[in-house]
Structure 1
């Protein structure tokens, strides 16, 4: 799938200046060891560029893609020049160890537009902060790239709709990083529920913690080599302080995850996973609730301002009621007329700072009657999409052009549902939602929250708005 170098809009050997004033791009070696890429000839490989090479990229997305011989990460991009250097080293070291030979074939970029202009790149993995997901996703598919996009899909419901529209119009493959769909117990739990093992579903409980207050408010100088102005993207121009962004050194949990300027906190961060998995079992993947209400505590001190302890509820048109709160175990519990099923990641964690890492319960699948989860789904029953691994499924679908397990519309619907719960927390009243028109009923205040004002030039193309 690699294209000829002569067609390359940005040379693989071009040097891109970073904020450090140093070159960020290093050319490919003359000879790439065949052992690095296994049985796949260069013309059959999927060349991938990584946009955002921070914490989730290093521990999840890059390893998830580089394990496959039919893909090759050939470029990394970040607005932090230090992370570009370290990202290149991370990828080069992986391929060097795989081939047992020196390897220096990764290009570094300081601007994702230049990465997208590289015609040698077939696909991109977007592992940026949440407020950049939609715009980069739209720009990528309009540039002809297939996309793996970290969840949540968008900062606002309006942006999520624009993203989904753009992807569907482009014909590109976009996979949302909702990897629970590629985890056996979540698929099996949804199949059991969809096939009536607990009778008619009545309610669903989702366990999800809040975030703590804190964060240092003191203004600080922007670190050398960090394009903070662009990092803020569409959001308001505010002063720099490290707890608003990410650590200057290392890859610990970043402060932006706890800032409403860039996301909604746990309700979208982890909620996008659990709500998506709940929708799978509820058979409401392309819809959403019709009523949403709840309460939440918000910080009264410090920099961070996303929700803390909370409890929100929603009613769906089919009569199912969903509750989300830190009062419940981290996971999803389906209650039906004949019993219940609980599913979670157990004690698995993507990173050491993930909330699930603090759990003592390693239960991944349980039920009111052990016979429920021991039953076999028959050949004539509902069998859901079976993916063994999220990144691998994306790569397979790039080749086959079939729909991936987490297509953009499913990601948008899960994200929009989480954002509805967040709006109910903020507005402190019941909201009435039409999932078809994606508008609130007779509620101008709530409808005004479907979009945020985007700071130029970081705005979605007007054709999509």
Structure 2
């Protein structure tokens, strides 16, 4: 465990009464406080706060709630509770927000002690928080991650890592300088099927690669049931909409804009190219041994865009290719003939990997790795691996630099598609778009005041 974390946990029981008074929540010390019932005593647990209590944030925090080495002590969201005040507008989202997240935590622990916050800066100011789980929309990741790293909080942050290439570079540099533990929510790096596929490719088991094909999820699906509700409406009570927008451009509130559908707005995300590209393009990088580098050229770029007047601004259908310096070419479509996944195709055979499936052809190639073959880092549980790294110094499965390099590919594809380019050249060493000033300017975006990344 890190010295900072050990010190924080030792202080936790001593400070709990004072912290409760300072932040306005009751202090409940569970019966396992001394660890006599076989559980890990709170003084030896990693204390964690959840920032972003939507669907993904709530799903992931359940893994930390089930880890006996973790104590979730606070939740934070700009929304109090979605289904209490939206009167059925959010049809599919369910009950999201800080109050439902608090109830989940308290029910799990059998206490009433989980603190609630509206502003993430309050969480980062707490001395009793060792680590944070960031599960906010993409446009918030950079500001929150940088602030958390500078506050010496360990960070589990959802993918896609960043909204822009420049943000990702800045985030990675700050995290490295701060020395905190980082895990990206690219859980396919802890999936045995994707690791085995990457190992087969890395060790040349299918021969020289002819091409790689990647299928991403298709279209801008209606995740919250409110895609048609695009007319501006009053901001519901209990939602700090200005803080939800944060660094993004000013925009009127409407139900279609929030609750997972934000993925289809270029102001907040990059559509399916970044959303699922953060997963599958990351595995391609892993398989090729390019975790800290990237391709040099984008080509064969095509996209269909939302109809004029649509609120959504990301491409529902697309295809593009990118090429590495050694000639290896990756072809990406919204959906391949095998659906969503990755097909590595070599001179001797192929490896197809999707979630829950690994298919190696021909069958003669299905052999265990030999002595001396490259073995990639093995994590069997993405969430426990994060806590292992905090408490024992173990490596994490998805370091921030790897995530930055992977999502850079998706950002570059979006830039080229939005500018209707036929080709785009990239220098992965200098991290610069070449010979295209307009495209290079899109490696960053302005932030709405007073927010800035510095």
Alpha carbons of structure 1 residues 222 and 339: separation in structure 2 relative to 1, 3 Å: same
* Aligned pairs for 1:180-219 within 5 A: 180-212=188-220, 215-219=228-232
* Aligned pairs for 1:85-164 within 5 A: 85-96=99-110, 103-164=111-172
Take 1:307 and 1:403, find their aligned partners in 2: how far apart are those partners?
36
TM score, norm. by length of structure 2 = 0.89
Residue aligned with 2:183, SS: strand
CA-CA distance at 1:212 after TM superposition: 3.2
Alpha carbons of structure 1 residues 188 and 295: separation in structure 2 relative to 1, 3 Å: same
The reply to whether residue 290 of structure 1 matches residue 290 of structure 2 is no
- 1:9–1:118 CA contact under 8 A, matched in 2: no
CA-CA distance at 1:8 after TM superposition: 6.0
- 2:211–2:345 CA contact under 8 A, matched in 1: yes
* Aligned pairs for 1:275-354 within 5 A: 275-293=281-299, 294-300=301-307, 301-328=309-336, 329-346=339-356
Larger deviation, residues 152-161 vs 284-293: 284-293
* Aligned pairs for 1:423-462 within 5 A: 423-429=415-421, 430-461=423-454
Which sections of structure 2, spanning at least 5 residues, go unmatched?
1-5, 82-96, 222-226
Residue aligned with 2:344, SS: strand
Take 1:37 and 1:104, find their aligned partners in 2: how far apart are those partners?
20
Take 2:335 and 2:194, find their aligned partners in 1: how far apart are those partners?
21
Take 1:14 and 1:57, find their aligned partners in 2: how far apart are those partners?
27
- 1:44–1:70 CA contact under 8 A, matched in 2: yes
* Aligned pairs for 1:347-362 within 5 A: none
1:262 paired residue number: 268
Take 1:344 and 1:31, find their aligned partners in 2: how far apart are those partners?
42
TM score, norm. by length of structure 1 = 0.87
CA-CA distance at 1:422 after TM superposition: 1.1
Residue aligned with 1:433, SS: strand
- 1:297–1:307 CA contact under 8 A, matched in 2: yes
Take 1:267 and 1:436, find their aligned partners in 2: how far apart are those partners?
23
Take 1:174 and 1:315, find their aligned partners in 2: how far apart are those partners?
29
CA-CA distance at 1:36 after TM superposition: 11
Alpha carbons of structure 1 residues 74 and 441: separation in structure 2 relative to 1, 3 Å: same
Take 1:387 and 1:30, find their aligned partners in 2: how far apart are those partners?
33
- Aligned pair count reads 421
Residue aligned with 1:13, SS: helix
- 2:13–2:43 CA contact under 8 A, matched in 1: no
CA-CA distance at 1:215 after TM superposition: 4.1
The reply to whether residue 244 of structure 1 matches residue 257 of structure 2 is yes
Coordinate RMSD, CA, aligned: 2.0
Which sections of structure 1, spanning at least 5 residues, go unmatched?
17-24, 97-102, 247-253, 347-363
The reply to whether residue 77 of structure 1 matches residue 76 of structure 2 is yes
Alpha carbons of structure 1 residues 95 and 6: separation in structure 2 relative to 1, 3 Å: closer
CA-CA distance at 1:283 after TM superposition: 1.4
